[in-house]
Amino acid sequence: MRHTIHGSARGIDAVSVVIDDLSRPAHLSASADFFPQGRDVLVTRAPGTLRLFGGAADTAGARALHVATAEGTLVALQRDPQGLLTIIRRTPGYRGRADIFEMPMHFLLSDGRPVRYDVARHYFARHDDRAWAAPFAAAFLAMMRDRHVRFAEGVRVLIAAAAPRGHGRGADAAAVIALLRGLFAEMNLVADPRELTTLAAHADRGVHGPIDGIADHWPAASAESEHVLAFTCQPQPDLAQVPWPTHLAVFGLDVGASLGVDLADTRQHDVRVAMAMAARLLATQAPTAGATGGVPDAGWHGALANLGPEAFAASHRASLPETMRGRDFLDRAAPNDDEQRMVSPDTVYRVRAAASYGIYEHARARAFESFLPMPGDQETFDFLGDMLFEAHDSARACGLSFDAADAVVDGVRRVGRARGLLGARLGGGGTTVVILARADAREAVLEVQRTVGERLGAVPLLIEGWSMGAVPFGYVRLRTL
């Protein structure tokens, strides 16, 4: 039998379930076949997040405001002397349906050195049935390339996600952060949130491309319970843990079953690409020497969001095309190598709306952050709610939103502020609508859940509660004694 020699469940029921199972005799443990006795097992956890602001706008360098939810992703891992990287993903929960991936660890090496990310990306892209495992294998590659870690043995990894399929890349971000946290513990490395986030971002970009952002990694690594993690998606993130006011509540209604994760990710990716196209087009109109980020940016310091709403509206918005086919951009804009790879020639991108979304999202997030600590009067409620409704309208204009998400937002508007529902928006991409409410308005949220479920034929998943990031949680080590 195994016993806990480090850490605890920290009051999280799902972690207790995993620890209890791993502590049972082999013939009573659901994981006995995967985690043989005699070697330590580490358990880590990273939370899901609700994006009040953030998501796709991180490509523009916008401010993001995330909260860590009670739902989360657990990762258990064990060294494997057979030299295999074996990953099992169960969703939802510890005994859910499983995806299984296995490969020799040496596949991540070439002539004894870590392979390039594009080599790994092509390996996983060749077969749809193993594409889901790419972010997790890339986490090992990031450890090899950036941290110069050598894996003398293989690793067995069990990922147990509370979120069902349909939550998209945000759920992957939590799993990657939890996996990296466990690898740091196993290698006796100090886990710093910034380093975990950087490694996860390198892994994510290595798999998905440089235009995709990192907004979900920060809260998965470092969020505190009952706080908003505020950060800017730029080299200097200006992190702040903002206490959540007791007179407010935040909920999520996930409608992923009505859209599907692939389509949601495609929408978000296209908006990100359109922002990058807008930055390139604007920058080439007024290039500035010494600009950062590979784009001459006329003083934006590598982030389109720094342009600001006033300057954008006055001097730049009208110069951007409303839409632009990828082929036309590639022919006219002198894109860099990353843009050439990420821009699809046949896709029509909403360039102007995407730029507006990223720039105004940054301003709205800062305004929301400044008003959040204000007294709980109706003026504050109206202002905070309006920020979310405006954000959703902007997301709809640039192509991020979809009918099921619009139905939830419309339901919140219909029930209204008299019942305590203050505002709602699609959470920066993905499939979850974030609802801001008074602390006493849970029943009104449930009413929206029921009515939208009747309309869609599928009841949205309710997301609520709080938890902490992977670094504050720590890790649990179990050992056969």
Q: Which of 236-240, 271-275, 336-340 has the lowest mean pLDDT?
A: 336-340
Q: Is the pLDDT of residue 236 over 70?
A: yes
Q: Is the pLDDT of residue 134 over 50?
A: yes
Give the predicted TM-score (pTM) of the model.
0.90
Q: Is the pLDDT of residue 168 over 70?
A: no
pLDDT at 469: 96
pLDDT at 289: 40
pLDDT at 341: 84
- Please state, in angstroms and rounded to a whole number, the distance separating the CA atoms of residues 250 and 423: 10
Q: What are 17's two structure tokens?
A: 């379930």
- Convert 195-232 to b/e letters by CB count within 10 Å (16 or more is b): bbbbbbbbbbbbbbbbbbbbbbbbbbbbbbbbbbbbbb
Q: Is 384 helix (H, G, I), strand (E, B) or coil?
A: helix
Helix segments in 147-260, DSSP class H: 169-186, 193-208, 217-222, 256-259
Closest CA to 117 of 225, 233, 201, 13: 201
pLDDT at 337: 78
178/122: higher pLDDT = 178
pLDDT at 212: 56
pLDDT at 214: 64
Average pLDDT taken over every residue of the chain: 89
pLDDT at 293: 42
End-to-end alpha carbon distance in the chain: 7
pLDDT at 291: 42
* Average pLDDT of the residues in 332-345: 85
- Please state, in angstroms and rounded to a whole number, the distance separating the CA atoms of residues 306 and 339: 21
pLDDT at 470: 97
**Tens digit of each residue's pLDDT (9 = 90 or more) over 267-306:** 888 999 999 999 999 888 765 444 444 444 556 777 899 9
Sheet holding 248-254, edge to edge: 421-426, 432-438, 248-254, 461-463
Q: Is the pLDDT of residue 332 over 60?
A: yes
**Tens digit of each residue's pLDDT (9 = 90 or more) over 32-78:** 889 999 999 999 999 988 999 988 898 999 999 999 999 899 999 99
- Please state, in angstroms and rounded to a whole number, the distance separating the CA atoms of residues 249 and 442: 8
Domain at 2-53+69-242+467-480: CATH architecture: 2-Layer Sandwich (3.30)
CATH topology of domain 251-463: de novo design (two linked rop proteins) (1.20.1440)
Q: Is the pLDDT of residue 331 over 60?
A: yes
Question: What are the boundaries of each domain within the chain?
Answer: 2-53+69-242+467-480, 251-463
208/456: higher pLDDT = 456
pLDDT at 295: 47
* Average pLDDT of the residues in 453-480: 94
Residue with tokens 């952060």: 177
Q: Is 245 helix (H, G, I), strand (E, B) or coil?
A: coil
Closest CA to 411 of 440, 372, 444: 444
Task: Give the rounded percent of residues in the chain with a pLDDT score beyond 90.
Answer: 70
Q: Is the pLDDT of residue 177 over 50?
A: yes
pLDDT at 431: 87
